[in-house]
C-alpha cells in the first residue's frame, strides 16, 4: 500500500512537471502589458523630437522616417495584425507634418504586398516599403533598403526598430530601439 502511494505521488509530481513545462517556457517571455509599457517608455519624446526636427529642416530636405515592421510597427508576436501604438502615433504625426513614412523589412520581397495590406489595416500611412533582396543577410538587407531610400533623396531622421540589425551601418539621425528580448522577437 505504502509503495502504491509512493508511486502515485511520484506520478502526480511527474504529471505536474510535464504540465508545467510549456507554460514555464512561455512565462520567460515578458507579458504583453510589460512589453507595451516598455515600448511607451522607449518612444517617449519621439514625437517632440520629430516636431523639432521638422521645424529646423532645411527647405530642400525631404524628410522621412524608417520603420521596421515586425514587433516595431506591427505587434506580430503579442497581438498579430495590431499596431504597436507608440510607433503608429509617431507615423501619424510624421504624416501630418509632411514627413514620409517608409518601411524597411527583412521579410522577403514576395511578401511586400501582404505587408502593405497589414500595415494599412493597422492604420499606418505607407509611402514606401523596402524588403530584403534575394541573397542578402538581414543586416545587409536593412542597410540596402536605407541606402535605397537615401538614393531617392530622403533624409532618414528617425529609425525605429527592435533588433540590433535594424541599426547597424547608420544612415539615419535618431534611433529608437524597442525590445527583442535577446532576439526572441523578430
Ligand atoms: Mg523587428
Question: What is the CA(91)–ligand 1 centre distance, in A?
Answer: 16
Write down the H helix ranges in 67-159: 85-96, 112-121, 138-151
Question: What is the CA(124)–ligand 1 centre distance, in A?
Answer: 16
Question: What is the CA(17)–ligand 1 centre distance, in A?
Answer: 33
Could you give the C-alpha distances from 93 to 48, 70, 103, 113, 172, in angstroms and in order? 10, 20, 16, 24, 18
> Model's pTM, two decimal places?
0.86
Place of cell 497581438: 79
Q: What is the DSSP string of 54-66?
A: HHT--TT-EEEEE
pLDDT in tens, the chain (186 residues): 556 555 544 544 444 444 444 444 555 899 999 999 999 999 999 999 999 999 999 999 999 999 999 999 999 999 999 999 999 999 999 999 999 999 999 999 999 999 999 999 999 999 999 999 999 999 999 999 999 999 999 999 999 999 999 999 999 999 999 999 999 999
C-alpha cell at position 175? 534611433
- Spans of all domains in the chain: 1-30, 31-177
Q: What's the CATH number of domain 31-177, 3.40.50.1000, 3.40.50.620, 3.90.230.10, 3.40.1410.10?
A: 3.40.50.1000
Question: What is the CA(63)–ligand 1 centre distance, in A?
Answer: 22
Beta bridge partners of 169: none
Cα 53 from Cα 158, distance rounded (Å): 10
Cα 158 from Cα 162, distance rounded (Å): 13
Amino acid at each position: 500500500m505504502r509503495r502504491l502511494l509512493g508511486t502515485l505521488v511520484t506520478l502526480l509530481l511527474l504529471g505536474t512537471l510535464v504540465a508545467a513545462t510549456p507554460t514555464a517556457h512561455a512565462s520567460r517571455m515578458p507579458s504583453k502589458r510589460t512589453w507595451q509599457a516598455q515600448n511607451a517608455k522607449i518612444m517617449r519624446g519621439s514625437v517632440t523630437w520629430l516636431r523639432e526636427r521638422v521645424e529646423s529642416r532645411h527647405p530642400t530636405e525631404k524628410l522621412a522616417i524608417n520603420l521596421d515592421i515586425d514587433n516595431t510597427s506591427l505587434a506580430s508576436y503579442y497581438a498579430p495584425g495590431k499596431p504597436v501604438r507608440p510607433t503608429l502615433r509617431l507615423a501619424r504625426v510624421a504624416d501630418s507634418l509632411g514627413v514620409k513614412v517608409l518601411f524597411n523589412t527583412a521579410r522577403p520581397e514576395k511578401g511586400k504586398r501582404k505587408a502593405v495590406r497589414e500595415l494599412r489595416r493597422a492604420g499606418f500611412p505607407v509611402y514606401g516599403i523596402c524588403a530584403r533582396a534575394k541573397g542578402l543577410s538581414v543586416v545587409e538587407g536593412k542597410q540596402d533598403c536605407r541606402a535605397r531610400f537615401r538614393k531617392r533623396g530622403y533624409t532618414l531622421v528617425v529609425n525605429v526598430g527592435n533588433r540590433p540589425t535594424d541599426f547597424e551601418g547608420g544612415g539615419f539621425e535618431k534611433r529608437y530601439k524597442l525590445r527583442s528580448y535577446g532576439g526572441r522577437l523578430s
